[in-house]
Amino acid sequence: MNPFVNAMRQLDRAAGILKLSDNIQDILKKPIRVLSARLSVEMDDGETREFQAFRSQYNDARGPFKGGIRYHPGVTEDEVKALSFWMTMKCAVVGLPLGGGKGGIVVDPKKMSEKELERLSRAYVQAFHKYLGPTKDVPAPDVYTNGQIMAWMLDEYEKIIGEHAPGMITGKPLELGGSRGRDTATAQGGAFVLQELMDKLGKKPKKTTVAIQGFGNAGANMAKILHDAGYTVVAVSDSRSGVCAKHGLDITRVLEHKEKTGSLSGFEGADALSNDDLLTLDVDVLIPAALENAITKDNAEKIRAGVILELANGPVTPDADEIFYKKGIICVPDILTNAGGVTVSYFEQVQNAMNYYWTDAEVREKLEKIMVDAFHAVWEKKEKHGVDMRTGAFLLAVDRVASAMRLRGLS
């Protein structure tokens, strides 16, 4: 269940098919550096507490490191290493001139005040600022981080360097140089990928049932986008509760209920269900949009969906992948499906560099082209090599990263 071990299994399979040189494969098996620091933060009661923080900078052969920062009590060094590897692959799959990074702090942000979160966020930048910047490493929001946290980090960085540098971080509020379309980008990118797959399979949205595990930013936006496009979203769940309606949920009303009550529980006209039960529903499309390792060899045999669309990072383990491939279940990998977020983050960097900003329609148009092109490139690799979609995506990504490494003189 170690996410980094899982990531390396994925790399090894692609490297074997590509006949990658031992030197390049060995370099790709470890990050360039992993930064670690103990952040001292003054709490509201005057007490000083320490929090463990990480930043993994995996590979920058194609461009500056890029990747989110998560605040979660379960953050580990191996997790951020795995996520930074996947970010390297994700940027390569969609053809972005970026490498991969990831950061995290071991903390439960729900137990902190806004002022404590601000001091924690500024402390992170103080610890790692020498390694961050528009041409070095560009962070972004991730689990339990948001635009406000990015704004505090940007402000701290600019205070330290003494000049404006909006491109040092993405996912910012619009007022500070954020991009339109960023909040929905991960879900919108995934929706573009799903529609291309449905076209390949000859399925229509109105005849496609969907269940979504995870009702945070990505999952909730995905539910709304698919519902509006005509898909029948029969079930959604968050970390504490879930709801299901055989003939489909009114996602607008579900969102209103969650906003009003803070929970999915008690939504009128739907049955309650657990996260585990949601995963095994008889639906056409299952979308894991929560945390990694949600689907393992222990529950993979119970999955009845024909398509799994990974909106979360690493929700399906390699052992589960093998089970799905044998059963004929199509698993669309995270490094393709959820790459819409980093793609619009890249758009944000470009707009910051130009100091010229695009409309929602321009962002959507550019995002759709990149996601559609990436889907077909992955599908082509899958068909050519007779492999599953994840392996097809890794073949595409690893080949692109290795090519950049060779051009830089490695062999």
Helix (H, G, I), strand (E, B) or coil at 152: helix
- Note the pLDDT of residue 3: 85
What gap in Å lies between CA 391 and CA 381, rounded to an integer? 8
Element (H, E) at 155: helix 147-161
How many Cβ atoms sit within 10 Å of the Cβ of residue 169? 31
User: Which uninterrupted H or E stretch holds 251?
Assistant: helix 251-261
> Same topology for domains 31-165 and 185-332, yes or no?
yes
> 411: pLDDT confidence band, cut at 50, 70 and 90?
confident
Identify the CATH class of 31-165: alpha beta
Q: Assign residue 37 a region (left: φ > 0; alpha: ψ between -120 and 50; beta: otherwise).
A: beta
Looking at residue 131, the DSSP 8-state letter turns out to be G
pLDDT at 143 over 90: no
Residues in the chain, total: 411
CB-side neighbour CA atoms (13 Å) of 68: 26
Residue with tokens 């923080």: 53
**Chain centroid to CA 86:** 9
pTM: 0.94
- For the four alpha carbons of 187, 28, 1 and 302, in that order, the dihedral sign comes to positive
SS3 213: strand
pLDDT digits (tens, 9 = 90+) for 378-409: 999 999 999 999 999 999 999 999 999 999 99
Contact indicator for 223, 190 with CB cutoff of 8 Å: no
72-102: pLDDT as tens digits:
999 999 999 999 999 999 999 999 999 999 9
Whether pLDDT at 244 is above 80 = yes
- Nearest Cα residue to 284 out of 204, 190, 229: 204
Helix (H) or strand (E) holding 395: helix 389-407
pLDDT at 330: 97
CA distances from 403 to 61, 91, 146, 389, 393 (A): 9, 14, 34, 21, 15
Of 287, 255, 248, 294, nearest to 271 by C-alpha is 248
**Residue 27 and residue 410 in contact, taking contact as beta carbons nearer than 8 Å:** yes
Any idea which fold 185-332 has?
Answer: Rossmann fold (3.40.50)
Q: Rounded to an integer, what distance in angstroms lies between the CA atom of residue 66 and that of residue 104? A: 13
Contacts (Cβ under 8 Å, ≥6 apart) of 171: 68, 140, 141, 146, 147, 150, 178, 182, 345, 348
pLDDT tens-digit readout, 347-384:
999 999 999 999 999 999 999 999 999 999 999 999 99
Cα separation of 105 and 80, whole Å? 10
Task: Spell out the domain ranges in the chain.
Answer: 31-165, 185-332
Q: Is-catalytic flag, 102?
A: yes
Query: Collapsing DSSP states into helix, strand and coil, what is residue 60?
Result: coil
Q: Active site residue: 66, 81, 90, 102, which one? A: 102
pLDDT at 1 over 80: no
Alpha helix ranges (H) inside 274-317: 275-279
Cα-trace Rg, the chain:
21
Mean pLDDT of 268-274: 94
Handedness of CA 395, 396, 399, 402 (dihedral sign): negative
| 122 contacts 150 by C-beta, under 8 angstroms | no
pLDDT digits (tens, 9 = 90+) for 25-64: 999 999 999 999 999 999 999 999 999 999 999 999 999 9
Q: Residue 242 forms beta bridges with which residues?
A: 237
Q: How far is CA 222 from CA 53, 214, 288, 296, 339, in A?
A: 30, 10, 11, 23, 14
Q: Which residues contact 68 (CB under 8 A, 6 or more apart)?
A: 83, 102, 103, 139, 140, 141, 142, 143, 145, 171
